[in-house]
């Protein structure tokens, strides 16, 4: 397992520079389940890291331990150089947005957002001012006097975001904040969360099992697998250069095409491609993205068209190699017109590095 580091992210435009977060060797077991199995995670100041992984891999546990809502069995946590390992949750200064709606139903939107400020003893005028500003930031300045049950799910999560940010938290934590919303609102709100986060410059940890969401908003995506981090890298790097088989198969669609590794290169179909670090030696399966496969009709080709699905600007062709391997190719819909089901085709693979895994 290799953890790739990177620090390329847009600099926050205003306010706090954010604090660095360091989680080291975190462990947590529930009975016999290893929810966290030695998790190491570092967040740069102002960075937005998304933890991505299948259900039950320990994402929520990691977030809740960082927030202090859950105890770790071992490991340490520090924020901005300060050791928080044994600091109780209410003293950690972290703003959290929960998956389930968590606004206080007996308070207005404004009082919800001002709640944390009231606990900090800020004056009434101050609180209203700051809460109002936060609501403007999330586009709900007009809804101050409403109660939670008068808002849509998306609006409630915006208020929850404003409430978490109002206390100027050291770290912003979001646990699948969009999963209860319908697809359209989800896309809109995730872009908005990203915008707000870059505006305020708060270091942010966002948890999701939706890879599209993760790739769309993260500075870096950390892929979790059974309580550990398999790889953490900027979205593009994660997609083009998966470090492990798990990452390659979990993020995006991949074909598995028989390959023969020979030193630094591998022969896949007729092409010779460079291999990524972590690849297996000898015979194996190359993980190849559908958009890296191009198709052209050819009487003497080594594959047959099984079906062609039109997806708008692009189409997806399903093909079988002569050895029976199924391969998906993504191509411009204009080019897909020349393919007939049952016709023979020749496949070409874009010569970018591939990960080859054991068969």
Partner 1 sequence: MTITAPLAAAAPDSDPGRGRRLSVGPSLGLLPFLVFIGIFLVIPTVTVIVGAFQSEAGGFSLEKVRALGEETPLRALRESLVLSFTSALVGAVLGALLAYLVVTAPPTSILRRAVTSICGVLAQFGGVTLAFAWIATLGFSGLLTDLMADTFGTDPNGSSWLYELPGLILVYSYFQIPLMVIVFLPALEGLRPQWREAAVNLGATTRQYWLQVAFPLLRPAFLGSALLLFANAFAAYATAAALVSQGAPITPLLIRSALTSEIVLGQANFGFALALEMIVVVAIVMGLYAWLLRRTSRWLG
Which of 18, 21, 51, 60 binds Mg ion (CB under 5 A)? It is 60
Nearer CB in complex with ligand ATP: 144/209: 209
Least separation, in Å, of the C-beta of 255 and partner 1?
Answer: 42
* 60 near ligand ATP, rule: CB under 6 A: yes
Which of Mg ion, ligand ATP, partner 1, none is residue 346 near (CB under 5 to 8 Å by kind)?
Answer: none
Element (H, E) at 156: helix 153-166
330 within 8 A of 290, measured Cβ to Cβ: yes
* Beta strands 171-175 and 94-97, pairing class: parallel
Q: What Rg value do the Cα atoms of the chain yield, rounded?
A: 24
* 33 near ligand ATP, rule: CB under 6 A: yes
CA distances, 171 to each of 59, 75, 310, 333, 353 (Å):
16, 19, 44, 45, 36
d(CA 295, CA 163): 52
Least separation, in Å, of the C-beta of 96 and partner 1?
Answer: 5
CA distances, 341 to each of 303, 305, 306, 322 (Å):
11, 5, 6, 15
* 46 near partner 1, rule: CB under 8 A: no
209 within 8 A of 176, measured Cβ to Cβ: yes
Query: Residue 87 burial by CB count (10 A; 0-12/13-18/19+): exposed, middle or buried?
Result: middle
Contact positions with partner 1 (CB under 8 A) in 47-86? 67, 69
* 163 near ligand ATP, rule: CB under 6 A: no
Contact positions with partner 1 (CB under 8 A) in 97-126? 98, 100-108, 115-116, 118-120
* 177 near ligand ATP, rule: CB under 6 A: no
Query: x/- site string to partner 1, residues 186 to 225, per CB under 8 A?
Result: ----------------------------------------
Closest CA to 286 of 248, 318, 246: 248
Chain contacts with Mg ion (rule: CB under 5 A): 60
Chain contacts with partner 1 (rule: CB under 8 A): 67, 69, 89-91, 93-96, 98, 100-108, 115-116, 118-120, 147, 149-150, 160, 163-164, 167
């Amino acid at each position: 397992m290799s953890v790739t580091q990177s620090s390329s992210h847009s600099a926050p435009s205003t306010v706090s520079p954010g604090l660095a977060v360091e989680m080291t060797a975190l462990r947590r077991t529930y009975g016999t389940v290893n929810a966290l199995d030695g998790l190491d995670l570092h967040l740069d100041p102002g960075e937005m890291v998304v933890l991505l992984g299948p259900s039950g891999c320990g994402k929520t546990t990691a977030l809740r331990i960082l927030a202090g809502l859950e105890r770790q069995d071992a490991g340490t946590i520090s924020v901005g150089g300060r050791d928080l390992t044994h600091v109780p949750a209410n003293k950690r200064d972290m703003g959290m947005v929960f998956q389930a709606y968590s606004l206080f139903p007996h308070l207005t939107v404004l009082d919800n957002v001002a709640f944390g400020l009231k606990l900090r003893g800020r004056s009434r005028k101050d609180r209203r001012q700051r809460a109002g500003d936060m609501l403007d930031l999330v586009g709900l300045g007009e809804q101050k006097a409403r109660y939670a049950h008068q808002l849509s799910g998306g609006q409630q999560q915006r208020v929850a975001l404003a409430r978490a940010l109002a206390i100027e938290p050291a770290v912003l934590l979001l646990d699948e904040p969009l999963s209860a919303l319908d697809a359209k609102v989800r896309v809109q709100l995730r872009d908005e969360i990203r915008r707000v986060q870059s505006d305020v410059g708060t270091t942010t940890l966002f948890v999701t099992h939706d890879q599209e969401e993760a790739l769309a908003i993260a500075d870096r995506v950390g892929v979790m697998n059974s309580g550990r981090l398999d790889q953490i890298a900027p979205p593009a790097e994660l997609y083009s250069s998966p470090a492990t088989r798990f990452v390659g198969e979990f993020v995006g669609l991949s074909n598995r095409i028989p390959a023969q590794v020979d030193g630094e290169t591998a022969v896949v179909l007729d092409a010779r491609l460079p291999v990524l670090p972590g690849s297996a030696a000898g015979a194996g399966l190359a993980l190849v993205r559908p958009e890296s496969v191009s198709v052209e009709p050819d009487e003497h080709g080594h594959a047959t068209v099984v079906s062609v699905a039109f997806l708008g600007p692009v189409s997806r062709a399903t093909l079988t190699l002569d050895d029976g391997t199924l391969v998906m190719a993504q191509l411009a819909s204009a080019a897909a017109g020349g393919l007939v089901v049952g016709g023979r085709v020749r496949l070409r693979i874009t010569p970018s590095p591939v990960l080859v895994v054991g068969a």
